[in-house]
Amino acid sequence: MAKRISDVTKRTANRKEKGKDEEKNQEKTREALKLLWSNAV
């Protein structure tokens, strides 16, 4: 039982980390697009 709980906790933590990474990637993408647009105009 305890092992199952720790597995779920790990999975939740992993999901949170992935979410943070995705947010960072989205920010980078947005910044890159802004640069592209500012250069294009």
pLDDT by residue (tens digit) across 1-41?
678 888 989 998 998 888 899 999 999 999 999 999 898 77
What are the φ and ψ backbone dihedral angles of 13, each rounded to 5 degrees? -60, -45
Phi-psi region of 36 (alpha: psi -120 to 50; beta: other; left: phi over 0): alpha
DSSP state of 41: -
Supply the pLDDT for residue 5.
Answer: 84
The whole-model pTM stands at 0.54
Residue by residue, DSSP assigns 1-41 as: -HHHHHHHHHHHHHHHHHHHHHHHHHHHHHHHHHHHHHHH-
